[in-house]
Amino acid sequence: MKKKLISLMLVGAMASSMVACGGSDAGSADTATDSAATTEDGASTADVQSDDENTLTVYAWDENFNIPALKAAEKDYQDVNKDFKLEIITQSQSSDVEQAVTLAAEAGDYSTLPDIVLFQDHYIQQYVTNYPDAWQDVDDADCDWSGLGAEKLSYSTIDGKHYGFPVDAGTAIFAYRTDLLEQAGYSIDDVKGITWEKFDEIGQKVYDATGKHLLCMDGSGNDLFYMMLQEEGVSQFKDGEPYIKDNKALVEVFEIIAKMAQDNVLYLANDWSDYTDQAIQGDMVAGVFNGNWIIPTMKQVSENSGKWEIVPAPSLTGKPGYASNGGSSLYITGNCKKTDLAKDFLAYTFGGRSAEDGQSTTYDEALLNGGVIGTCAAAAESDVYQQGVDFFNGQAIYADIVDYTQNVPTVEQSDYHYSARTALGTALQNVIENGYTTEQALEEAETNLRFEMGL
Amino acid sequence: MYFHGKWLAHFPFLKKGDANVEKKKHGMTLANKQLAAGWLFLTPATILIFIMSFYPIIQALITSFKTGKGVNIKFADPLTYNYSRMLQDVIFKTSMKNTFLYLIVEVPIMLILAILLAQLLNNKDLKFKGLFRTCIFLPCATSLVSYSLIFKSMFATQGLINTVLQNIGITHENINFLGTAGTARAVIIIALIWRWTGYNMVFYLAGLQNIEYSVYEAAKIDGANGWKTFWNITVPLLKPTIVMTAIMSINGTLQLFDESMNLTSGGPANSTITMSHYIYNQAFGQGVGNFGYTSAMSFVVFILVAILAFINLKVGDTRD
């Protein structure tokens, strides 16, 4: 009897709590639609379109980075169209947007997509090729394309037509911990314009003196190959085919990466979160080399403020190395009915029309609030870009990065960018752990990549 | 299976040319009425299963003969292209090797542990039995994703395990557990054992309750020691349970996804990836999905599970 009573009470409690949950859910959904200004609840994807003719919807994924940039753009465009509203629908990561497009396209129902999506540069080409109906080109938008960075636009231009507006540059930075360099007997000047071999030598001393790695990377998604090759103006692809085992620069880059990993100079994290949370934020490293979007991650370790400085990367020959990695742009989806408004909004803000008029609210506030560094030349003249950053010992890193951006060589891109990355990452693993020679590993990588591409 | 057999026994009623059906068209007998009611109750579920499960399975089979991505998808030439492609796919082979490694190492350890624990906890004289049983079963109540993430942080280079190992003096340097292929696989196996042993133990406990105590008493009188009792009485009488848990474990391991996805992300460089995880990567993980190829791979996994379950049933079958 007692047991029955207890179980009855438990069931009752459970049922009432469920009712309560359901009630509060419904309530929050109501308030969300009432205050339609900015729906930041990632779960409420039901309303991806707005009936209001001056409201656009957009998918973006980083609260600390690209979402502040979009909010700045909304504010900027309200100067032109005061009724304009941008509904930002937060996604938890970039792949959520890719999957949303895949699902909509495979289901043949684009009504689940918002007006605009933020999309990763390395993926957009294959998505436009395979799902052409999911996008609308913006070739006739009213903006000066030549001022937006040629390397950046090479991703979003497909068959000679512009599809996207650049948001952040992927320009790579090499940040060093000056205090740790000093402990090993070096200064920041010692790492400027050096070869990777010299870098390896310094790295070993730093590791011996401090126990920290001078370089780190995600071992599963190893971007080092791509960035180090781009510095030399070389790609992993040539005329649409893999260019690996006969690629002299790649062989050299591969060998030095393997050596650095074996010398404890390079720490290979297991995956992305291990790289950001453990290696960088866990204070295991004395150097970070990646796209400048990595800066907000580094800034999370506030006790290291003032100890970092940024210089161009080492290279094979010792000349300053400039590369780019990642970055994203804004694209108008096939589901957008207010195409003219969307085009005008994007051209005015991220397309740089407002910056040319001398008020670059979008880019200034994107930089101030999110640390987003654009590729728009007109915006870079603003004072905001010239200011020093405390975290980087007062260095005017934004101006420096814009300067780097101009020097990044354009290299051949491929739909199979990430497949190449996986193939080379596996090759590296084979050399370090399974005792392969470089030739064997690269031969296998090329075979696997060709297989993946169906060649 | 049970329901299926039971309904089959009634099937002669419905056979064509059966005298009963011809005669009793008007005014059903009581048995027929009951049968009709049974079918009526079954119909909604059957229709739903057909629409939600069988129809997609057939569609997936058709898709598995197609190649290309997005709008460019079309029937492959030859039709078996995706299946022959698999034989040359190094990553698919790696994923298969990994999956079978997890299977061969983890399942026996887990089942033996489970049966030993069940035996211990079935002891009549043990105090706080309920508490211990709950403790061992508890890992099963945790979500796959959250336990994977907890293991990930425990085995991180600066995580709990490394700290403990160093403090008690076993190692002197942080070990990059998840960044090295061998140790990453070991971590997955340890995690799997932690998560699933209690689950299997519960089945064995239930099986043990069904063994008459008098059997053990008789064995004791005959002079059998503990090990002999376990090996000659407990194990044979638990055989049906052992076969069932083995089938479930094999099935579950072949479809392993969460641990590979969340604990190691398949890394480093695909060296711990499982088949399901590779299928997911090809469909959603790396740009535009290759749905033809992934469907084909899914069918291979499906066939593997079926074959292994069949072998298992045959091995466990004592009727000759």
User: What number of residues does chain A have?
Assistant: 455
pLDDT in tens, A149-191: 788 888 888 888 999 999 988 899 999 999 999 999 999 999 9
| Whether residue A286 is found in the same domain as residue A353 | no
* A288 & A337 share domain: no
Verify that A161 and A246 share a domain, yes or no. no
Judge contact between B244 and B315, C-beta under 8 A: no
Is the CB of B269 less than 8 angstroms away from the CB of A132?
A: no
Residue of B nearest to A96 (CA): B284
Q: Are B99 and B274 in contact (CB under 8 A)?
A: yes
**CA-to-CA distance for A91 and A59, rounded, in angstroms?**
7
Domain assignment present for A439: yes
Which segment of A192-206, A207-221, A355-369, B129-143 scores lowest on mean pLDDT?
A355-369
Q: Are the Cβ atoms of A131 and B184 closer than 8 angstroms?
A: no
Identify residue A312 by its one-letter amino acid code.
P
Residue pointed to by tokens 């740009």: B287
CB contact under 8 A, A106 and B289: yes
Tokens of B208: 């043990």
The gap from C-alpha B215 to its chain's centroid, in whole angstroms, comes to: 32
A162 and A256 within one domain: no
Six-digit token string for A48: 């991806």
Asked whether residue A30 is assigned to any structural domain, the reply reads no
Q: CB distance B269–A428 less than 8 Å?
A: yes
pLDDT band of residue A37 (cuts 50, 70, 90) is very low
Percentage, residues of chain A above pLDDT 90: 47
Q: Are A171 and A182 in contact (CB under 8 A)?
A: no
Q: What is the pLDDT of residue A97?
A: 92
> By CA distance, what is A219's nearest residue in B?
B268
Contact A171, A312 (CB under 8 A): no
Q: Residue B8 above 70 pLDDT?
A: no
Which residues in chain B are closer than 8 Å to A98, comparing Cβ atoms?
284, 287
For residues A419 and A449, what is the distance between their CA atoms, to the nearest angstrom? 7
Query: What is the per-residue pLDDT across A328-338, written as a single tens digit (0 to 9) for each?
Result: 999 999 999 99
Contact status of A269 with chain B (Cβ, < 8 Å): yes
Same domain, A318 and A354: no
- Partner A contacted by B285 (CB < 8 A): yes
ipTM beyond cut 0.85: no
Residues of B in contact with A415 (CB under 8 A): 287-288
Nearest residue in A to B280, CA atom: A99
CA of A106, closest CA in chain B: separation in Å? 7
Tens of pLDDT, residue by residue over B33-66, are 889 999 999 999 999 999 999 999 999 999 999 9
Q: What is the pLDDT of residues A394-413, one digit of tens each?
A: 998 988 888 888 888 888 88
Domains of chain B: 2-63 (no CATH), 82-316 (1.10.3720.10)
Q: Which of B71, B88, B286 sits opposite A419 (nearest CB)?
A: B286
- Top residue of B183, B265, B290 to mutate, by most chain A CBs within 10 Å, is B265
Q: Which of A30-44, A233-247, B300-314 has the lowest mean pLDDT?
A: A30-44
Q: Is residue A447 part of a domain?
A: yes
- Give the gap in angstroms from C-alpha A114 to the nearest C-alpha of chain B: 19
- pLDDT score at A11: 66
A274 to chain B, any CB pair closer than 8 A? The answer is: yes
Strands, E assignment, A128-271: 157-158, 161-162, 164-168, 172-177, 215-218, 237-238, 241-242, 266-269
Lowest-pLDDT range, A199-203, A354-358, B183-187? A354-358
Confidence of residue A433 (pLDDT cuts 50, 70, 90): confident
User: Can you tell me the mean pLDDT for B84-108?
Assistant: 92
pLDDT value for A46: 53
The encoded tokens of residue B147 equal: 């336990």
What are the phi and psi torsion angles at A383 (to 5°)?
-60, -35
Looking at the structure, tell me whether residues A135 and A94 fall in a common domain. Answer: yes
Q: Distance from A443 to chain B by nearest Cα, in Å? A: 13
Whether residues A318 and A283 fall in one domain: yes
Same domain, A77 and A106: yes
Residue A223 forms part of a structural domain: yes
pLDDT digits 0-9 by tens, A120-157: 988 998 899 889 999 999 998 888 888 887 888 888 88
A329 pairs with which residues across the strands? A119, A166
Structure tokens at B280: 């997911």
pLDDT in tens, A306-333: 999 999 999 999 999 999 988 899 999 9
* Residue B247 to residue A358: CA distance in whole angstroms: 70
Please say if the pLDDT value at position A82 is more than 60. Answer: yes
Give the highest mean pLDDT range of A1-5, A31-35, A377-381: A377-381
Got the DSSP string for A242-255? E--TT-HHHHHHHH
**Total domains in the fold of chain A:** 2
Nearest Cα to A275, choosing from A297, A307, A304, A292? Answer: A297
Flag whether residue B150 sits within 8 Å of chain A, measured between CB atoms: no
Give per-residue pLDDT as tens, A287-304. 999 998 888 889 888 899
A136 and A249, same domain (yes or no) = no
| Domain ranges, residue A253 | 172-323+408-452
In a domain, A1, yes or no: no
Residue of chain B with shortest Cα separation from A103: B284
Q: Examine the fold and report which residue of A362, A381, A400 is the final residue of a domain before the chain moves on.
A: A381
Nearest chain B CA: its distance from A397 CA (Å): 31
Q: DSSP of A317-364, one letter per residue?
A: SSSPB--B---EEEEEBTT-S-HHHHHHHHHHTTTSHHHHTT--HHHH
pLDDT at residue number A6: 67
Q: Is residue A189 part of a domain?
A: yes
Q: Is A106 on the interface with B (CB under 8 A)?
A: yes
Average pLDDT of chain A to the nearest whole number: 86
- Beta A328-332 vs A116-120: how paired, if at all? antiparallel
Cβ of B284 and A271 within 8 Å? no
List of chain B residues whose C-beta atoms are within 8 Å of the C-beta of residue A270: 176, 178-179, 184, 264-265, 267-268
Verify that A308 and A419 share a domain, yes or no. yes
Task: Please name every residue paired with A310 in a beta bridge, in sequence order, or none if there are none.
Answer: A175
Residue of A403, A327, A265 whose CA lies nearest to A123? A327
| pLDDT > 60? residue A26 | no
CATH number of domain containing A140: 3.40.190.10
Q: What is the mean pLDDT of residues B162-188?
A: 89
- Residue B15 confidence (pLDDT) above 70: no
Chain A residue numbers touching B161 (CB-CB < 8 A)? none
pLDDT at A13: 64
Does the distance separating the beta carbons of B271 and A270 come in below 8 Å? no
User: How much is the pLDDT for A41?
Assistant: 42
Cβ neighbour number for residue B43 with a 10 Å cutoff: 10
- Express each pLDDT in B225-282 by its tens digit: 888 888 888 888 898 899 889 988 988 898 899 999 999 888 788 889 999 999 998 8
Task: Note whether residue A8 is domain-resident.
Answer: no
For residue A303, is it within any domain? yes
Q: How far apart are CA A397 and CA A373, in angstroms?
A: 10
Going by the DSSP 8-state scheme, the letter that residue B157 receives in this structure is: T
* A332 shares a domain with A310: no
Based on the fold, state whether residues A207 and A317 are members of the same structural domain: yes
Give the Å distances, CA to CA, from B11 to A332, B19, B39, B199. 59, 14, 12, 38
**Please, are residues B286 and A419 in contact by the beta-carbon 8 Å criterion?**
yes
CA angle A308, A312, A318 (to 5 degrees): 130
Beta-strand pair A215-218/A266-269: parallel
